[in-house]
Structure formats: structure tokens, C-alpha cells
Structure 1
């Protein structure tokens, strides 16, 4: 007798993710403690963000309030959405889409934040008149060292802004389109067939993401020396970490789940369990990042000192000397 033919598969391994009430009913002591701790972390992250918003509105100049709040909110919003997805597994697609849309806006806002830290567009153009932008940076052109350096003009600054803004706009549009297609049964993240809509939308979103990250990296490489006293390097590191954890980590876990690497554990199917693991990790990670970003952004926002040039021609902005 073939044992494989007699092997039974738990029906829940083939079902949709369980309902919230099914999770609550099946919680054991360990999971009660785990869910309680993670929910507490998500709640604390949200409260810390609210307190930080109050501080920003009281202490920060008006031109910086909005962008700092947007950037600070990345980790708490993702953590809160992950908590909702943990308790309501069938809403995971929507919570992930909400987090992705928010972070798409944060990408653009972080670019604006760096400009505002310098003093705004006019001050940036004035300070950068004798400098050039190095565009051979990641994630697009880090290997293309032959690319020419670009002068800092209103036109080049506009292109940098548009490069990041397109992601914030198109990500929201594509998310709405995905939800509309899902209601009609035409969008499924697990459907990798050439006729499925997910196989076309998701790679396109990936291309838009890479294009949007490029202008931010260009501006960061140009301003990291100027803004080093404002802790721009750890701020940029936190921004990159949120990107990697919320996008790359989640994608890897979901791929492993769909490939069957992650085992089914009733009442969760393998795919639903992968989503659950992803949500739980994000809550913990975003909680830590929320606390770190609070320390980085909670400071006095004094005007940046004027650019000075010493005898060794060391400048606070990256100057590229043209060859004669």
C-alpha cells in the first residue's frame, strides 16, 4: 500500500486565512502572550508617534513640520497596519497595500526633508551653484561610473523631485486599480500566470520603486557632508531599513510561503502563516525603529550655518572640480 496515497491533508491548509474570531478561539498560552506583547508594541509605537507630532507642532519651524511628521510616521504606520493584519489575516493584502502607499509618499517626503534641512529650494540652488551632482549612485547606476556629473539647476532639481513624486502618485493609483481588479476576481498575489494582473502590476511597481529611490540617493550623497551635524546619515539609514524590512523582507517570506518552504500550521495555511510571520516581525522591527527615529528627530531646529571654505578647500558640500 502506498503511504503517500493515504496521507491526508488538513482542510485548513487549503482554505483561506482564518477569521479573527477563529484566531482568538484557538489561542494558547504562548500565543496569548505573543499577541499581547506585539499589540502592546504597536500601540506604544503609535503613542510615541502622536507625542512626537505634538512636539513637532510646538518646536519645529512651519516649513519642516509636515515632512518630518510624514517621515517619522513610516515605522508607526507600518507597525499599526501589521498589527491589524496579524489580528485579521484576511485583511493582510489591504494592510500591506496601505503601508506600501504610505511609504511611497515617505520616499518623496524624505527628499523634500533634505532640501528643507538645507534651507529650501532657493538656498539649495544658491549653495550648490558651484557644485555638481554625481548621478552614478544606487540603486540604478552605481556601476555606471562613466556617467557625467550634472549641474545643479532648477531643471535638475525639478527632475529629482519628479523622479520620487511619480512613485508616490502611481503607487496609490496602482493600489486602487489592484483593489478594483481584486473585487472582480482578476487580482491574486499568488497568481503568477502570464494572464494574471499581479504578474504585470508588481514588477512595474518594482521598477517605479527603483526609479524613485535613485533621486533620493543622489541628493543624499551630495548633502550628507553638509547635513552631518543634523544626523542625516542615521536618518537615511533608518529610512533605508524601513524600506528593506517592509518591502524586501516581506517579499522573501511570502515567496517562501508560496513555494511551500513554510509549513502549514492549522488554522493557518502555509501562505497565511507566511503572511502572519511577516506581520509579527514587522511589528517588532518597526517598534525599535520608532524609538530610534524619535531620538534622531527630537532636537532643536536651528538654521544651518552658511557654507564656508577653508584653506584646504574642504567644503561642507561635495564639490566636483572640473578638469581643465
Structure 2
């Protein structure tokens, strides 16, 4: 019976052109697109105002990292808005968002170090301590791993672990666009002969490797930087990661499997991308407002007597209880 069922020809076509969307929008569609476009615009305006504030109020290298990290939500929301209006540009907008967030992963690691005063200050204040590397997403199930001394070499390796993702993501994106123009790359083509089946897992591995150093540094500094609201900042960073990567991937997989129905002029895949983009615009708008409250503040240096190792604090507290 399923074989005899007819399918609208548009369900097998490429995503519609922007003009086709404009011509077929009803009242509800006009309101939805207008509200989402307004949200994306407000997100970018809030980000621009915040950049102006940080540029004039924050000193040193910290301002660069803050501006990059704050841009994650508004940039992803803006790219999603462009992809919503121009469905045939979805691959470009998604790859632009992914490249930007790859840089944000590295910049968030730099931000935590700069909150302590930079590399030299971090090494001076934390050099006597050790890093616990048994954290997610790589080694959270390996508590037996030894702690690592904090040296220039270990700090360099942590930075390199995150920087490689920022660099290689851009390289893989350029390669994917080149292959797409030649018809060799299609995000929905999961056959063994397609380029996507080889590129996407590689990018996934690089992502996990890049997230690991950030998690290591956060676990080490979360107590020291608690007064700077590093925990909610890290939560917003993780939330952007989950929503822009995991949520989008789940929706797109459902679309490729046909779970999300075709709705002319959108095919199942195109409609899945549309739903993902509309959700991201709303979610990134909310995250932009939250991150503005977290980052738009006065940045005073930390007291010099702060301990930068949470493990040391825990051990000291335990020894005090034993003595008592």
C-alpha cells in the first residue's frame, strides 16, 4: 500500500528559493517569520552594544576572549535566521555557525586563564598544583588516570587541544564547500562513497578532543573563579554547544529517516532544517540576554591570595576536620 501511495513532487526537490517562501506565507507564517527575525536582530544589536561596552571598559587581552565568547549565541541566531529565509544557503549558514563556535571553544579556555591574569599569572599561582584529567567528554569514566603537573608544556598542550579544532574545523568547512560545488558532498548522503560519511566523524572526534581541555581547566578553576560567575558562564557555553550541535543533529536525523513529514514546498530534510533554525533563533535569543547579564559588568582583578586548585581546598578541608 505504501508503494502505491503518491508523493508530492516537491518532496523530492531541492529546498525552495527565498521568493517562493515569500509568495506562500500565510498570516501565521508572516507573524512567525517576523517575530523570529526581530529576535535575531535584537540579539545582534544587544551583542554589538555589549562589544562596545567591553571594548571600552575591559583592559588587556581579556576583552578579545569575552567578545568572541559572547558572540556565540547571536551569531548562531543570525545565521539561523538567514538560513530560515534562504533555505538553499542552509549548508553555508550552518557551517559558518559551526566554525564560529569552534573558535569559541578555544576562546573560552583562554578566557578562564585570562580571568586569573594570563599565562604567567596562572603558572605562578597554580604551578604547585596538579590538573585532574579524568573529566568529560573523553575520560570521565577513568578516575585512575594520574594528575598532571601544571607547567608551560601542559598549558601549551591544553591550548593546542582546543586550538586544533578551531583550525581544522575551518579547513574541513572549506573542503566541504569545495566538494559540494563538485557534487561530492551532501549532508544527507550517508553512503560509503559520499564525502560526508568521512568528514563528519572526523569533525566529531576533533570536537571531543577540543572540549576536553576546556573541561579540565574548568574543573580546576571553578572554585577560584566562582565570584566571577564562571559556573553559569560555563553552563551557557555548554548549552549553546548542546542546542547548536546535538539538538540540530537529532532533528536532522529524524528528517532523513522520514519521521518529519514533507510539507510542500519543503522536503522532509529541508523542513527538518527549518524547524532546527526556528528553534535556534528563539533559544539563542534567550541565551544572548542571559549572557549579557553575566558578562556586562566591572572586571576587577582577583585577590592574589586565592587558591587556584579546587582539589587542594577539598584536601585542606578534610585535614581540618580530621584535626578537629
TM range (shorter): over 0.9
Name the residue aligned to 1:311: none
Count of aligned residue pairs for this structure pair: 314
Counterpart selection for 2:301 from 294, 300, 303: 303
Q: Deviations over 1:18-52 (max 9, x none)?
A: 00000000000111100000000000000000000
Name the residue aligned to 1:119: 117
Counterpart selection for 2:6 from 5, 8, 18: 8
Name the residue aligned to 2:185: 187
Shift of 1:6: 4.7
Name the residue aligned to 1:265: 263
Unaligned runs of 5+ in 2: 316-324
CA distance in 2, matches of 1:198, 1:6: 32
TM-score after normalising by structure 2: 0.95
Q: Deviations over 1:213-254 (max 9, x none)?
A: 000000000000000000000000000000000000000000
Name the residue aligned to 1:246: 244
User: Given the superposition, is the C-alpha separation of residues 150 and 140 from structure 1 closer, same or farther in structure 2, using an over 3 Å criterion?
Assistant: same
Q: Deviations over 1:281-323 (max 9, x none)?
A: 0000000000000000011111111125xxxxxx4532456xx
Q: Note if contact 2:220-2:308 (Cα within 8 Å) is conserved in structure 1.
A: no
Whether 1:201 and 2:193 are equivalent positions in the alignment is no
CA distance in 1, matches of 2:3, 2:89: 35
Counterpart selection for 2:310 from 298, 313, 318: 318
CA distance in 2, matches of 1:14, 1:167: 35
Counterpart selection for 2:59 from 58, 61, 68: 61
Counterpart selection for 2:104 from 103, 106, 110: 106
Whether 1:82 and 2:80 are equivalent positions in the alignment is yes
CA distance in 1, matches of 2:308, 2:113: 15
Q: Note if contact 2:130-2:148 (Cα within 8 Å) is conserved in structure 1.
A: yes
User: Given the superposition, is the C-alpha separation of residues 161 and 174 from structure 1 closer, same or farther in structure 2, using an over 3 Å criterion?
Assistant: same
Shift of 1:4: 4.8
Q: Note if contact 2:221-2:310 (Cα within 8 Å) is conserved in structure 1.
A: yes
Counterpart selection for 2:215 from 214, 217, 224: 217
CA distance in 2, matches of 1:215, 1:7: 52
Q: Note if contact 1:307-1:316 (Cα within 8 Å) is conserved in structure 2.
A: no
Shift of 1:90: 0.5
CA distance in 2, matches of 1:188, 1:316: 47
* Mapping of residues 274-313 of structure 1, within 5 Å: 274-308=272-306
Unaligned runs of 5+ in 1: 309-314
Shift of 1:65: 1.3
CA distance in 2, matches of 1:307, 1:186: 57
Counterpart selection for 2:143 from 145, 168, 176: 145
Q: Note if contact 2:108-2:214 (Cα within 8 Å) is conserved in structure 1.
A: yes
The 4+ residue runs of structure 1 with deviation greater than 3 A are 3-6
Counterpart selection for 2:42 from 37, 44, 60: 44
Name the residue aligned to 2:158: 160
Shift of 1:165: 0.2
Counterpart selection for 1:17 from 5, 15, 27: 15
CA distance in 2, matches of 1:57, 1:124: 23
Q: Deviations over 1:261-282 (max 9, x none)?
A: 0001111111100000000000
Shift of 1:5: 5.5
Q: Note if contact 1:130-1:319 (Cα within 8 Å) is conserved in structure 2.
A: no
CA distance in 2, matches of 1:230, 1:319: 19
